[in-house]
Each structure stands twice: as C-alpha cells, then as structure tokens.
C-alpha cells in the first residue's frame, strides 16, 4: 500500500503544533513543602519564557510524594530552546534536588473538547496537529559531549570496545540500536528504543560494562562529572541531551546494502533551529524522489548543534547532494549561510562524522 509523505514523517518539531509537556515526579520523603516553595519561586520566571502558554502543578491525592507538572507551549521548538538552555538547567536545580525520580513526556495536541475559554486565552499562532502520525513504536534520542583535544584516539578505542548490554529491558521496552560517532573531539551517541526511553536509558546506565566505559572516559571529558554523585550525573546528561526533532523514512523496506552515517552541522549562533528545520524540509522534498539513496533521516538538535543521522542505500558518496541534505547548489548556499563552519561550498565529506560503533540488537525470536 502506498503511504503518503505525512505518514512517513513519524516525528517533527516543525509543523507548528502546540506541545503539551507532562513531568511526573516522585519526591524524597518529607520534601513536599520544600518542592512546593521552590516551584512558587520559579513559576513567574517560567511563565515569561517565549512560547509558554500555561502550566499546572498537581499533587497526587493518593500519594503526597507524587507530583505532576503539566505545561502547554505554542510549539515544540520554543519549548526545546528553553529546556535545552543553561538557564533552564539552573532554574530546575531546586526542583530536581527534591526528586527521587523524574519522567518527562512530550505530546503534540491533536484534538480537544470544551475549547471556548482555553482557545480564547491562547496566542493566535497556537495550532492543533492536523493529523495523527504513524510509526513503528521507535523512540530516538542522542547524547553529545566533547573530549579534550588530543584524546580522540584513546576515547574512540574505549567507546568501541565495550560489551553490548542486554537488549531486553522489560516486557514492554527493548533497546534496538546504538550508533556512536565522532567529529573532531565531539562524540555523538544515538539510540533507538522500542517502548519507554527513560527505562531503557536507566537500564543501560546500570550495566557494569557500560559503567566501566563511562568511568574510563571520565579523565578525557572537557566537562567534569562524577557519576557517583546523582546530581552531577543528572546535570551532565541533561546538558548532553540531543533531542530528535524530525524523522522521515522511505516507503519501501530497507535493502541489504543500507549503511548508517551521521553528519554534523555546526550552526551560526542562534540558527540551530532554523538549520534543523531547513534539513527537515530538504529530506521531505527528497522523499518524493524514488531514486533517492537516503532511506531514512533523523535530525537531532540542541542549541546550535545539529546532527543528521541517515541510512543510505548503496555507496555513501554516490549522490553527495542527497547525503548532504541540499538538493541543488542554491539549497547548498542556504545551508552554508546557516552554518558556522569556515567558508567554501558545503560538502558532505566535510560534515561526515567518523563511525565508532553501530550495534543492532538481535532479532526477537
């Protein structure tokens, strides 16, 4: 059956839809009042963030240690710009100190009833998502961090030599694929999870072989961390998070000659979201070309760091414009203007990251 382009885009932060964010929190015993007071001090500051519409603080009537914060945003990029900022990291420190566990969930809004008052109180730019998205139940996420210049070879050897953790997390969650790349001294690790992303990340972090690798690269990191200190570890991984903002897949199933690659696009200051959106639109346009070698594309963006993960059929350099994400010289010039890289025409080879390891979980029996 032929699928439409909208059905092949299983994730996008760029369709203008409103975003509903739900943060589930389990507090340390006796910290409820401290948490409430910290939230009271922050809420006016958070309400002034561009794109923020409203939020609610809720406490479980069954268990006073369980809290829920829901917030509504005009669009995903506005929320991501805030949640990925250093200002946000400092804002939420007092809240995080009170929590035993936190689980953020993000939803675009498709339909709602009783919209009279709510619709009147929203900005005119806040829109509902037009149609449901389809997908295979895969959640994509990435982490990025830098290592000390000159340590790249040692870090690559450490990161490529670990034993893969068990793919099965629980009855509902499975680690499907982990791909790790480097570009200069920047490391990018992407993961694909079927089920609960947070459960899978916790599962991986608890494995002895993974913890040994993380400890081994600690001396080489540009940003210090102490994995034995929960707050230090939480802040490091918060800053390292590189969210997926767009994913599109080809209509036909993958063939045997498909290989995985990643390209790194450093954006000019303040142009990260615009660059990621440009690449997403280019990939959507390329999906109309049956002969395109790009079988799927996932775009990850945080601030001015943009990474495009692509699965390519055939030789990677056979069609460099397609692998770069710019369909013609004019589009390549637009891409060049958005990037902070040195002058000269954009080339796929210049942005290609070095593959360190790409591991798929064995097929389920």
Domain 5-11+244-354 in CATH 3.30.70.100? The answer is yes
Question: What DSSP designation does 173 have?
Answer: -
Q: List pLDDT tens digits, range 277-287.
A: 999 999 998 88
CA–CA gap between residue 54 and residue 123 (Å, rounded):
11
| Alpha carbons 312 and 328: distance in angstroms, whole number | 19
pLDDT average, residue stretch 142-169: 92
The CATH T-level fold of domain 18-108 is Alpha-Beta Plaits (3.30.70)
The answer to whether the predicted template modeling score (pTM) of the entire model surpasses 0.85 is yes
Structural domain spans, the chain: 5-11+244-354, 18-108, 138-240
**CA 195 from chain center: how many Å?**
16
Helix (H, G, I), strand (E, B) or coil at 313: strand
| Closest-CA residue to 311 (of 244, 247, 241, 243) | 247
Contact 176, 196 (CB under 8 A): no
Q: What is the mean pLDDT of the chain?
A: 88
Angle 263-353-105 from CA coordinates, rounded to 5°: 60
Would you state the pLDDT for residue 1?
Answer: 45
C-alpha to C-alpha distance for 157 and 161, rounded to whole angstroms = 6
Q: What percent of the chain has pLDDT over 70?
A: 92
Evaluate if residue 76 carries a pLDDT over 80. Answer: yes
Average pLDDT over residues 350-357: 93
pLDDT digit string, tens, across residues 214-256: 999 999 999 988 888 877 888 888 889 999 999 998 766 556 6
Domains 5-11+244-354 and 18-108 share a fold: yes
CA dist 73 and 149 (Å) reads: 39
Angle at 329 between CA 325 and CA 335, to 5 degrees: 50
Per-residue pLDDT, averaged over 26-32, amounts to: 93
Q: For residue 248, give Cα distances in angstroms to 34, 53, 133, 205.
A: 44, 29, 11, 28
Query: For the chain, how big is the Rg over CA atoms in Å?
Result: 21
Residue 257 — φ and ψ, nearest 5°? -95, 25
Q: What is the pLDDT of residue 168?
A: 87
Cβ(317)–Cβ(349) below 8 Å: yes
Q: In whole angstroms, what is the distance from residue 39 CA to residue 176 CA?
A: 37
Q: Given a cut of 70, is residue 116 above it in pLDDT?
A: no
- Give which of 191, 142, 188 is closest to 169, Cα–Cα: 191
Which CATH number is 138-240 given? 3.30.70.100
For 217, the token pair is 């690269």
CA pair distance 165, 178, nearest whole angstrom: 10
């Amino acid at each position: 059956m032929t699928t439409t382009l909208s059905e092949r885009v299983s994730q996008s932060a760029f369709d203008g839809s409103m975003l509903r964010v739900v943060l589930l929190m389990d507090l340390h015993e006796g910290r409820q009042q401290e948490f409430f007071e910290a939230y009271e001090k922050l809420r006016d500051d958070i309400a002034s963030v561009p794109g923020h519409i409203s939020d609610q603080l809720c406490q479980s009537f069954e268990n006073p240690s369980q809290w829920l914060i829901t917030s509504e945003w005009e669009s995903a990029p506005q929320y991501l710009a805030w949640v990925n900022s250093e200002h946000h990291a400092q804002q939420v420190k007092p809240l995080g100190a009170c929590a035993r566990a936190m689980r953020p969930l993000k939803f675009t809004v498709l339909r709602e009833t009783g919209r009279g008052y709510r619709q009147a109180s929203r900005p005119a730019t806040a829109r509902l998502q037009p149609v449901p998205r389809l997908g295979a139940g895969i959640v994509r996420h990435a982490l990025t961090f830098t290592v000390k210049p000159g340590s790249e070879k040692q870090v690559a050897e450490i990161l490529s030599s670990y034993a893969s953790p068990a793919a099965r997390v629980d009855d509902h969650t499975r680690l499907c694929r982990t791909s790790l790349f480097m570009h200069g001294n920047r490391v990018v690790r992407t993961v694909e999870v079927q089920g609960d992303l947070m459960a899978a990340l916790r599962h991986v972090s608890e494995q002895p072989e993974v913890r040994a690798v993380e400890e081994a690269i600690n001396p080489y990191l540009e940003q210090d961390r102490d994995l034995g200190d929960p707050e230090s570890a939480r802040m490091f991984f918060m800053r390292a998070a590189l969210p997926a903002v767009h994913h599109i897949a080809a209509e036909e199933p993958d063939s045997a000659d498909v290989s995985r690659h990643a390209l790194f696009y450093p954006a000019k200051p303040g142009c990260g979201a615009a660059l990621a959106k440009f690449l997403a639109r280019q990939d959507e346009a390329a999906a109309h070309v049956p002969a395109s070698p790009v079988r799927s594309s996932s775009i990850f963006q945080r601030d001015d760091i943009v990474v495009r993960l692509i699965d390519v059929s055939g030789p990677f350099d056979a069609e460099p414009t397609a692998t770069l994400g710019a369909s013609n010289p004019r589009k390549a010039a637009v891409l060049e203007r958005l990037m902070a890289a040195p002058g000269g025409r954009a080339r796929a080879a210049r942005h290609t990251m070095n593959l360190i390891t790409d591991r798929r979980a064995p097929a389920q029996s």
